[in-house]
């Protein structure tokens, strides 16, 4: 059976862009494709930037709660915390001893910040090796990735191939990429790609008052109320069309083109749609966040499911290297 792996960032509570662009597609994929799916929350990776233990803890819980609220089946698939399988750090050392310096120096994760080396910690430089360990530890066949992550998978394959060749045995499975070429770009409140780094996200799990304030802050132009408006250049309409059905979208498009329809009304309609569409998910999310012991239980069970695979891989590399 084909085994798939997806790493989930734990840099903050998931927002609408994460949900539409990554979480829901991943859950649908796991429901439609035959295979074994493993999903890990990358809390070790987050330490390169997040030093506050409680922030990381809450981020991890909110990520788990979001995935479960949107229908992730933790009984059929595996959801766990990266740090709950310590074998990954030991494997990172073995892999690192076969990783040439230029490979890491050319990695995007380092090069993008190499202009200010004082801001680069060793963890960030070593990031691709830990990512390779995340993949190789679990005998993964396929890794769904965006185009910006292909290089990291190539690094994992190169390291694994080097070790397999050196010891003349198949210690590691060589993972294949599955590149999604139809990446969905979700506009933020300012029209740029929705991202925490741009501070333009919509948190659908907020209480109603702050959520409405966020939606009402979406940037629009100054076209007067009575004049027709172009829905195809409006961030409010774009977001609405991503959430609404065809009839609702067509109705709002008609309102824009006819005139006498204000952006404030469009924003209010979007806000009400978010509340209605995600009513169940919002409720489940807050119930889970109020019960961290339940989330810990799910993550611990996932880590236990992953343990035999991790132990077998680590045993092979330790035997080959003489430890």
Cα–Cα nearest to 183, from 145, 152, 235? 145
Provide the number of structural domains found in the chain: 2
> Is the Cβ–Cβ distance between 99 and 159 less than 8 Å?
yes
The angle, 0 to 180 degrees and rounded to 10, between the axes of the packed helices 292-321 and 53-69 is 100
- Residue 196 in domain: no
Indicate whether 115 and 167 sit together in one domain.
Answer: yes
Same structural domain, 21 and 154: yes
220 and 234 Cβ atoms separated by less than 8 Å: yes
| Other beta carbons less than 10 A from residue 93's beta carbon | 10
Question: Domain range for residue 65?
Answer: 3-186+291-321
Do 69 and 170 reside in the same domain of the chain?
yes
Q: Would you tell me how many other CB atoms lie within 10 Å of the CB of residue 55?
A: 14
Instruction: Please check whether residues 214 and 260 belong to one and the same domain.
Output: yes
Q: Does the residue 282 lie in any domain?
A: no
- Do 128 and 249 fall within a single domain? no
Q: What are phi and psi of 94, to 5 degrees?
A: -60, -45
| Res 120: pLDDT | 85
**CATH number of the structural domain spanning residue 227:** 1.10.240.10
- Domain co-membership, 107 together with 220: no
Are residues 238 and 308 located together in one domain of the fold? no
pLDDT number for residue 113: 74
The rounded distance, in Å, linking the Cα atoms of 25 and 38 is 15
Report if residue 195 sits inside a domain. Answer: no
Q: Are residues 173 and 51 in the same domain?
A: yes
160 and 79 share a domain? yes
Residue 191 placed within a domain = no
Per-residue confidence in pLDDT tens, the chain, 323 aa? 899 999 998 888 999 999 999 999 999 999 999 999 999 999 999 999 999 999 999 999 999 999 999 999 999 999 999 999 999 999 999 999 999 999 999 988 787 777 778 778 999 899 999 999 999 999 999 999 877 788 989 999 999 999 999 999 999 999 999 887 766 789 999 999 999 989 999 999 999 999 999 999 999 999 999 999 999 999 999 999 999 999 999 999 999 999 999 999 999 999 999 999 999 999 999 999 999 999 999 999 999 999 999 999 999 999 999 99
The pLDDT value recorded for residue 223 is 94
Residue 194 lies in a domain: no
- Inside any domain, residue 285: no
On whether the CB atoms of residues 239 and 264 are closer than 8 A, the answer is no
**Domain with 311 in it: what CATH number?**
3.40.50.620
Domain for residue 270, yes or no? Answer: yes
Question: Is 232 within a domain?
Answer: yes
DSSP bridge partners of 193? 187
171 and 213 together in one domain = no
| pLDDT value at residue 287 | 98
pLDDT at 257 (0 to 100): 96
- Cα(217)–Cα(290) distance, integer angstroms: 29
- Mark whether 240 and 157 lie in a shared domain: no
Q: What CA–CA distance (Å, rounded) separates 95 from 189? A: 42
Do 80 and 166 lie in one domain? The reply is yes
């Amino acid at each position: 059976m084909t085994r798939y792996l997806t790493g989930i960032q734990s840099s903050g509570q998931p927002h609408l862009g994460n949900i539409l662009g990554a979480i829901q597609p991943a859950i649908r994929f796991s429901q439609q494709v035959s295979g074994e799916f493993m999903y890990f929350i990358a809390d070790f990776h987050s330490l390169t930037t997040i030093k506050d233990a409680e922030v990381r803890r809450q981020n991890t819980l909110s990520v788990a709660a979001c995935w479960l609220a949107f229908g992730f089946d933790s009984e059929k698939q595996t959801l766990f915390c990266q740090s709950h399988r310590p074998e990954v750090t030991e494997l990172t050392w073995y892999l690192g001893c076969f990783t040439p310096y230029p490979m890491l120096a050319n990695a995007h994760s380092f090069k993008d910040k190499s202009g200010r080396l004082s801001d680069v910690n060793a963890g960030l430089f070593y990031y691709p090796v830990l990512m390779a360990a995340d993949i190789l530890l679990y005998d993964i066949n396929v890794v769904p990735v965006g185009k910006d992550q292909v290089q990291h998978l190539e690094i994992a394959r190169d390291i694994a191939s080097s070790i397999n060749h050196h010891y003349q045995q198949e210690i590691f499975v060589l993972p294949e990429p599955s590149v999604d070429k139809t990446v969905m770009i979700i506009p933020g409140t300012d029209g740029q790609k929705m991202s925490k780094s741009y501070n333009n996200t919509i948190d659908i799990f907020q209480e109603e008052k702050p959520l409405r304030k966020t939606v009402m802050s979406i940037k629009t132009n100054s076209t007067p109320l009575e004049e027709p408006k172009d829905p195809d250049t409006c961030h409010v309409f774009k977001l609405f069309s991503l959430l609404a059905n065809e009839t609702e979208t067509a109705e709002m498009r008609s309102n824009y083109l006819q005139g006498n329809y204000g952006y404030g009304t469009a924003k209010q309609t979007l806000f009400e749609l978010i509340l209605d569409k995600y009513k169940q998910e919002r409720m489940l999310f807050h119930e889970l966040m109020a019960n961290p012991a339940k989330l810990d239980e799910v993550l611990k069970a996932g880590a236990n499911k992953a343990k035999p695979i991790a132990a077998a891989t680590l045993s092979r590399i330790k035997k080959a290297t003489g430890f």
